[in-house]
Chains A and B, each alone.
Chain A
Amino acid sequence: GAVVSQHPSWVICKSGTSVKIECRSLDFQATTMFWYRQFPKQSLMLMATSNEGSKATYEQGVEKDKFLINHASLTLSTLTVTSAHPEDSSFYICSASDVGGNTGELFFGEGSRLTVL
């Protein structure tokens, strides 16, 4: 089946620094990718929809200047957490849809755990 890969799996950074998380579709092209955030013992909350070649669409309450999303190619979307603070510590998960495969299935990455000290 289709595979979505995230990198890094774990990242620890100092407060005030920026961190980039990559989401790649390994064997299919994804015109749209989705970024979710998951707090401990909570559900996934959609942060933004990333569209290849255009600006991302952010959910209400998500700061677009803090969470920069770039979808420069059909297989790669990046999420950059700028000027990270401890409250940004979370599990970030991306997903992509294999539209060409016509399965209607969203494939999820393994997630990236961010810890801001």
Chain B
Amino acid sequence: AQSVTQPDIHITVSEGASLELRCNYSYGATPYLFWYVQSPGQGLQLLLKYFSGDTLVQGIKGFEAEFKRSQSSFNLRKPSVHWSDAAEYFCAVGDKRYSTLTFGKGTMLLVSP
């Protein structure tokens, strides 16, 4: 069975500082990997996804993520965080394009002035 681990429940970053959110997955074959962001009381918005090809994936809002098969990781990064980035971030894995997703427990990002 596939699983996703987001080891950090909360992260606080100063505005303008760089950000890295960790995600590790467990899956036998090549996974389909996603990062979603959720603002309070809102649905999920897709930031980026990895299916195949270039292991460094660019997403919306200046986010990027790197797929590292050897480490079973798909960490999300942003070089300079803005206050509006404060939200909860979910990493997810699927076994095919249109399948259901298994989500991690999420990482709450707090941005300090």
Contacts and interface: CB of A to CB of B under 8 A. Distances in A.
Q: Tell me if chain B binds chain A.
A: yes
Interface of A: 4, 6, 32, 34, 41-44, 46, 49, 91, 93, 95, 97, 99, 104-111, 113
B41 A111 contact: yes
Main SS of chain B's interface residues? Answer: loop
Interface in B18-58: 32, 36, 41-46, 49, 51
Given A43-B90, A43-B103, A44-B90, A105 B49 contact: yes
Main SS of chain A's interface residues? Answer: strand
Interface residues of B, number: 20
12 contacts: A6-B43, A43-B105, A43-B106, A44-B90, A49-B100, A93-B44, A97-B98, A105-B49, A108-B36, A110-B42, A110-B43, A111-B43
Contacts of A44: 44, 90, 103
